[in-house]
């Protein structure tokens, strides 16, 4: 608890691939933009992100998989980052989030879970962060996972891990 408030964090994970995702680009009229692409490999990573509802501060961890064990690893890292006290996390109904293993271990660490209704990603603030990340990574060529990871880290570092998203759109 900070300043009499509980920490409420919105959490989700998103898979980012080294495959080039094409988006519209601004180019001089009549010119034909050329974008080098990689669509041969399926390699990718999962970006776990927790967004503090009050401060807009993001905490991320890049993982190779998304399952109950990597989810717990992320929650332990998040708890160390936030510090002592109770935290509430808001996330979707993914199987990795709803497992008994995650629920019990998280509760022992003082992490209380609130589940969003099924099929409602529009209620999770982190989706806005992932939308921005997706735009940032589009039209870029990645030849290996390290380049992708570096670009993801750069995206968050350039914003000082802060996002100015109006939480009131998501919470009434």
**Chain segment 35-59, per-residue pLDDT in tens:** 666 666 678 999 999 999 888 999 9
CA proximity to 44, closest of 131, 142, 128, 161? 142
Burial class (CB in 10 A: 0-12, 13-18, 19+), 121: exposed
Residues 7-23+35-167: name the CATH superfamily: Ribonuclease H-like superfamily/Ribonuclease H (3.30.420.10)
What is the pLDDT at residue 105? 92
Cα 148 → chain centroid? 15
CA proximity to 78, closest of 67, 63, 89, 93? 89
Per-domain boundaries in the chain? 7-23+35-167
Structure tokens at 7: 């920490």
**Chain segment 61-100, per-residue pLDDT in tens:** 999 999 999 999 999 999 999 988 889 999 999 888 989 9
> The pTM is what?
0.85
């Amino acid at each position: 608890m900070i300043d009499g408030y509980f920490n409420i964090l919105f959490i989700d994970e998103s898979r980012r691939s080294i495959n080039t995702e094409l988006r519209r680009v601004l180019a001089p009229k009549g010119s034909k933009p050329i974008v080098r692409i990689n669509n041969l490999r399926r390699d990718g990573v999962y970006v776990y992100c927790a967004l503090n509802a009050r401060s807009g501060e993001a905490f991320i961890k890049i993982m190779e998989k998304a399952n109950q064990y990597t989810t717990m690893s992320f929650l332990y890292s998040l708890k160390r980052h936030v510090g002592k006290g109770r935290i509430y996390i808001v996330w979707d109904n993914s199987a990795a989030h709803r497992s008994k293993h995650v629920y019990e271990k998280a509760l022992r660490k003082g992490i209380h879970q609130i589940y969003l209704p099924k099929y409602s990603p529009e209620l999770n603030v982190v989706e806005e962060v992932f939308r921005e990340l997706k735009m940032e990574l589009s039209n870029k060529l990645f030849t290996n996972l390290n380049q992708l990871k570096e670009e993801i880290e750069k995206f968050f570092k350039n914003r000082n891990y802060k996002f100015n998203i109006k939480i009131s759109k998501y919470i009434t």
